Chains A and B, each alone.
Chain A
Amino acid sequence: MEMAYLIETVIKIVVVLLIFSALAGIGTYFERKVLAFMQRRLGPVNVGPFGLLQVAADGIKLFTKEDIVPTNVVGAVFKIAPVITAATAFMAAAAIPFLPSFTLFGYEVHPIVADINIGILYILGIMGVGLYGPLLGGMASANKFSLISAARGAAVFISYEVITGLSILAPIMMVGSLSLIDFNEYQAGGFSDWIVWSQPVAFILFWIAAFAETGRTPFHLIANDHEIIDGFGTEYSGMRWGLFFIGEYANMFFISFVISLIFLGGYGDGSLLGALGLLGKVAFFFFFFLWTRAAWPDVRPDQLMWLCWKVLMPIAVLNILITAIVMM
């Protein structure tokens, strides 16, 4: 029994790793296409039908590119930083139920690597550790732009950890558990049971914070291409840079899963329709990440801090207070 559990877990880990590594690549394809269509361009069209093989071409380029470790960098830290980003992104996925449990060849499969009772805490903690990727990479790079990016990364991540934690506290108080499966069961009654109806403020706050946590466009100042030349990624090349990339896109997918599971009912009652519904919600949130990138400008770092500490945090605290009073 122990052996079977071990084998099952290893298989799940490998499947999650492979699927989300591939999804990161396909995510870049969709990002380029969606951005292009929104800007009246065509996007990648030349490699394969509709440019679909562009992902493969980019992969070949990343894998075969020379792995440059510049002079004056702190070698060991420089090399470990992208691994931290990718590894923490995938470690966070361990507590996420990707689909409802289903039966495969007479064997019941739970598509969650580890249903731990502190699921959300674990996910938020590991995503917080993900800060060390940009921070160490930027500080070790011996490049001033990378250093600016590392400083911004530390400030943004730590500030928005506060928003994520506080905004999610109110739903946690309502559900009384930290496991994402319990969250799903709480909302299994259907559309009207979704936490987003009782906690709309927490939903908006968490959504805003998700943009900061993943470093996407309104809050893209950690790796701002036009301002600090991709920030912590400036000195990286080849697959080391690719690991940063995979980590960023995997994070986008995982945070989309977390928002859908916490606020939008997850996979509902566990039927096929519910599973497809979860994937649809995740697809919408991923699309929204791309959509805002086409539509919205970046904010300045001081505006981001202002928004975090003077607007969002008081609202989050008020939200917790009101929830507590109502629950009493």
Chain B
Amino acid sequence: MHNEHIDKHFNDRNVTEMSSDYYLVGIEDYPSDNWGRFKRILKRSFRGELFVGLWVVLREMIRFDIHTVRYPEEKMPIGPRYRAIHQMKRLWESDTERCIGCGLCEKICISNCIRIDTKLDENSRKEVSEYSINLGRCIFCGYCAEVCPELAITHGGEYENASDQREHFTMYQDMLTPLDKMRAGTQVEFEGFGSITPHEDERVKKTPLAY
């Protein structure tokens, strides 16, 4: 069913009041007779557009405003929500691992690249004994970080993970924030999926007990 209203709404979806300086470009009709074609040739030949092109590139050469990023030496800044290799965070208070071994990340992982194994330690607490991420399969969707109830697994900013093997695993110990970094207080909280949004404290309400 053809709906004109929806069509119009769809076609004008980018035209808002903010961008009211949109205007239609005046496109002339193609000439139909030979005299018109001849006039078009003359106009195109003598309008000097070729020299405009020459001037533009020469101006850029003289201005010498180079935009090259010399990659291995220089790097572009990446956004805080960038989803690169995962990191395992520690608790600020006790430096212990945040991961409680719930296995949600393994469950939700849509490419089945997370493998987690847990056991009970000597204090009868659940402890992560094996944890690995197959980066050859990981599609960096961010579901694991989003689902993690403890903000334990997050994404980091390390994207230089080219390897000579297709299957490049990352082990738990490699992802875990090192203790010296923890003591220096430089563990960076992730701002992407699953992280605490700003002003989270004001939004917390009292738990209703009278159900």
- Which residues of A pack against B, CB within 8 Å? 34, 37-42, 45, 291-292, 294-296
Contacts and interface: CB of A to CB of B under 8 A. Distances in A.
B66 A295 contact: no
B70 interface: yes
B57 A38 contact: yes
B68 interface: yes
A37 B54 contact: no
B147 to A, nearest CB: 43
Given A37-B64, A296-B50, A296-B53, A291 B70 contact: no
Interface residues of B, number: 14
Contacts, number: 36
A68 to B, nearest CB: 28
Interface in B47-72: 50, 53-54, 56-58, 60-61, 64-68, 70
* Interface of B: prevailing SS: helix
B96 to A, nearest CB: 47
B66 A42 contact: yes
Given A37-B61, A38-B57, 4 more contacts: A37-B66, A38-B60, A41-B68, A295-B56
Nearest to A40: B67
B61 A34 contact: yes
Interface of B: 50, 53-54, 56-58, 60-61, 64-68, 70
A34 B60 CA distance: 11
A40 B58 contact: no
Most central of A37, A41, A296 by chain B CB within 10 Å: A37
Given A34-B61, A291-B58, A41 B53 contact: no
A292 B50 CA distance: 9
A40 B66 contact: yes
8 contacts: A34-B61, A37-B60, A38-B57, A38-B60, A39-B60, A40-B65, A291-B57, A295-B54
A38 B53 contact: no
Nearest to B64: A37
A189 to B, nearest CB: 30
A45 B60 contact: no
Most central of A34, A40, A45 by chain B CB within 10 Å: A40
A34 to B, nearest CB: 7
Nearest to B55: A295
B113 to A, nearest CB: 36
A37 B66 CA distance: 7
Contacts of B53: 295-296
Contacts of B50: 295-296
Contacts of A291: 54, 57-58
A310 B65 CA distance: 42
Given A295-B53, A295-B56, A296-B53, A41 B61 contact: no
A37 B60 CA distance: 7
A44 to B, nearest CB: 11
B74 to A, nearest CB: 11
Contacts of A37: 60-61, 64, 66
A169 to B, nearest CB: 24
Given A295-B53, A295-B54, A296-B50, A38 B70 contact: no
A13 B85 CA distance: 62
